Amino acid sequence: MIESVFTGERRSHKRVQVDVDFVVAGGGMSGVCAAISAARAGVKVALIQDRPVLGGNASSEVRLWILGATSHMGNNNRWAREGGIIDEILVENTYRNKEGNPVLFDAVVLDKVLAEKNISLFLNTVIFEVQKSDEKRISSLTAFNPQNETEYIFSGKYFCDATGDGLVAYLAGATYRVGAEDRDEFNEKFAPDKDGFGEKLGHSIFFYTKDAGKPVKFVAPEFAMSKEEIVQHVNRIDNPDYFNPRQLGCKFWWIEYGGRLDTIYEAEEIKYTLWKVIYGIWDYIKNSGKFEDVENLTLEWVGNIPGKRESRRFVGYYMLKQQDIVEQRTHPDVVAYGGWSLDLHPADGVFDKSKKACHQWHSKGVYQIPYRCYITPDVENMFLAGRIISASHVAFASSRVMATSAVGGEVVGTAAALCINEGYTPAQLIDEDKIKLLQQHLISQGAYLPQSAIQYQDDLMKEADIEVSSELKLSEIPFDGSWKDLHQSAAQMLPVTAGKMPEIRVRIKADKAVKQTVELRISSKAFNHTPDITLETIDVDLKEGENEVMLPFESPIPADCYAFVCFMKNESTAIQTSHMLITGLVSVFNKILPAVSNWGKQDPPEDIGVEAFEFWCPERRPQGQNIAMQIHPGLTCFSKENLRISPYRPVEKPNAWVAALEDRPATITLKWNTPKRIKGITILTDTDYDHPMESVQWGHQEPKMPFCVESVEVSDGEKTIVQQIGNFQTKVQLPFPHIVETDCLKLTLNNTMENTPVALLGIQVHTE
């Protein structure tokens, strides 16, 4: 028994000093990725989260799906899913939780953090003070955990602000902005009308429903908006493009409020208003009498905290702008990328009277984000991560989304580790030689740096003589699939080399004698996948029934790129597809996806600084099948030489070694002139970077991507050194049990998908 008697003195909280190398404030996806990347580089990290779970807006407290450049497969950014740690998390979640249960996603993220012995995790811990050793350096953060009544002082060499609102940077005195810039400041033509449209995006709270299997009544709380108020003030309630009584979760993203308020200091008022709206909408659904088949529905969950979109943005060494995104400008210090649309919402949110709840304008491809956006000259030992990075309001409309933020988090953690391990400062990493070192580290971790020639320096792969059991020569995508109606235009993307376009033979079925138009298109930029240049058009006369069609294109291909063989919309025809799935091949369709403002073609108003173009997007599996065809001469772009270099994903070509379909298990043998001391290897598999892998709610066809190598065995040509079975991850690290001195390594690889050849995107060999 403990008794503490009254003394008349004031008691103090328990106080704990935490000394680490790197302090990460904020446990959303950017903070999680920053902490993991630094910890894996040997850095001692404290990860501080003010909530009981990790994940921020992706957590079960908010339940927003993680998304980025892939944009629900609704734009032209092929193979654009973010790499590195966020890819590892999303692939893991898809394997464990393909249905998208947000509670299970919490466990996936927590597992990843707890697996890192260098991370000390502090949940329910609220930072309230910043101490500085001088005007430009943070020395410590003070925080309090009300669950264990403990005050913590976190001291570190470097700090990361991934708090979402920029709490640490704000308390440290860094320069920040709130709201929209004037159009003239950066000549950003999409800058909004501040009086009418407003300057900020608001918060959202989601709700989940379920069918209880029996009638469930609902009595609205007194604070809820009345049904009459809902009809009067929520004008999208009768718009089927936005409202369906059986929708739930993120589908109600447009229930947004607070853009005209202070989104930090008035956050509680915003929350209460959103609750009034949500319970009012549910009352309208259940009790207005306007909806059938809702009697058995019950309100299962309503969020208790809002998902925040916008507050402070901090000013770094460079500010990302609209032109960086639309024009895809390049930067020598590229370390990350984005690809979400320029996505601004009216500040009045759910109460806005205009037809659209958002204005999304897409670029023709992904864009670079420079390292200078992640650091500020005002605080020398602090990094910025997440939605607070240095970007204008318009650019922020794209860079704010979670997968893009998470990529930046990995950048920051890797940069912090370099500073700690090599003695650099964050600003020194801007230097040409040092930024290349950071870029190479990121690439080695699976990151993608678009439109960049920077390569991971793997001397052993450069020196190795590579022998493979086979290389795919793609002469046929077999005619074994279903018929796809051409009610919308369809295209097969083919990786071709500069010069003459191969001859293509396809099968088209017509329900009457009719002409079929076929176009050969390419992208104006070889690294993009927007088919905005038409090289040639062929009109084919079809008879009723099945037709064997030869397409002898005459126009030369100007550079190595993806060619689009486009079968234009025709209500009377269908084209045969194939069950064969091949790394670096995909069919696309001139389709619409209203969720991301894709109406088949982007047709912007004049003078807003974005381009008009068509959307050609894939179908999700199982509908996503290649178009069957014969190709002469066959495509030979699946060479073993692709294993030596990044990027470890398709861009202007597959950038992959692919074996012949019948070659399984397939083998790769690396040989050197002299024995090498090797401590392990890493392989980069194909987990379908074209698939978005939304973390919650959406759901996915397969737990494991069909292109992924499932088993690998590494030997020295005689005896097995290491093996792994049941793989589903992109990056497979295979440390050897001891240093192996050898002049030969043999990899034996397999998957179980009979219609998908074995493929690999890259190999890294690690020396002593």
Q: What pLDDT band is residue 53 in, cutting at 50, 70 and 90? A: very high
Instruction: Please say if the pLDDT value at position 85 is more than 90.
Output: yes
Closest CA to 644 of 470, 473, 458: 458
Q: pLDDT tens digits, residue range 674-686?
A: 999 999 999 999 9
Instruction: Quote the CA–CA distance of 743 and 759 in Å, as a whole number.
Output: 24
Quick one: pLDDT at residue 380?
98
Quick one: pLDDT at residue 598?
83
Closest CA to 46 of 30, 34, 33, 35: 35
Instruction: Quote the CA–CA distance of 301 and 297 in Å, as a whole number.
Output: 12
Q: Helix, strand or coil for residue 363?
A: coil
Vertex 709: Cα angle to 708 and 713 (nearest 5): 165
Q: pLDDT tens digits, residue range 447-479?
A: 999 999 999 988 999 999 999 999 999 999 999
Instruction: Please say if the pLDDT value at position 317 is more than 90.
Output: yes
Vertex 482: Cα angle to 480 and 486 (nearest 5): 130
Q: pLDDT tens digits, residue range 570-607?
A: 999 999 999 999 999 999 999 988 888 888 999 999 99
- Do 165 and 264 meet the contact criterion of CB atoms below 8 Å apart? yes
Quick one: pLDDT at residue 72?
95
Quick one: pLDDT at residue 717?
84
**Strands 45-48 and 22-25, how do they pair?**
parallel
The two tokens of residue 654 are 């597959």
User: DSSP assignment, residue 380?
Assistant: T
Closest CA to 416 of 379, 368, 382, 440: 382
Mean of the pLDDT values across residues 1-19?
93
Mean of the pLDDT values across residues 606-633?
96
Q: pLDDT tens digits, residue range 409-454?
A: 999 999 999 999 999 999 999 999 999 999 999 999 999 999 999 9
Quick one: pLDDT at residue 595?
84
Instruction: Please say if the pLDDT value at position 241 is more than 90.
Output: no
Instruction: Please say if the pLDDT value at position 257 is more than 90.
Output: yes
Quick one: pLDDT at residue 330?
98
Q: pLDDT tens digits, residue range 108-127?
A: 999 999 999 999 999 999 99
| Average pLDDT value for the chain | 97
Closest CA to 110 of 22, 166, 37, 36: 36
Instruction: Please say if the pLDDT value at position 363 is more than 90.
Output: yes
Mean of the pLDDT values across residues 263-275?
98
Q: Name residue, tokens 């998208």.
A: 100
Q: pLDDT tens digits, residue range 642-661?
A: 999 999 999 999 999 999 99
Quick one: pLDDT at residue 594?
86
Instruction: Please say if the pLDDT value at position 178 is more than 90.
Output: yes
The backbone torsions φ and ψ at residue 51, rounded to the nearest 5 degrees and listed phi first, read -115, 165
Q: What percent of the chain has pLDDT over 70?
A: 100
Residues 6+ apart with CB under 8 A from 195: none
Instruction: Please say if the pLDDT value at position 695 is more than 90.
Output: yes
Provide Rg for the chain, Cα atoms. 27
Q: Is the pTM of this model over 0.95?
A: yes
- Specify the length of the chain in residues: 768
**DSSP string for 230-281:** HHHH-GGGG-TTT--TT--GGGGTT-EE-TTS-TTTTHHHHHHHHHHHHHHH
Instruction: Please say if the pLDDT value at position 25 is more than 90.
Output: yes
Q: Which helix H or strand E contains 394, and what residues bound it?
A: helix 393-399
Q: How many other C-beta atoms lie within 10 A of the C-beta of residue 468?
A: 20
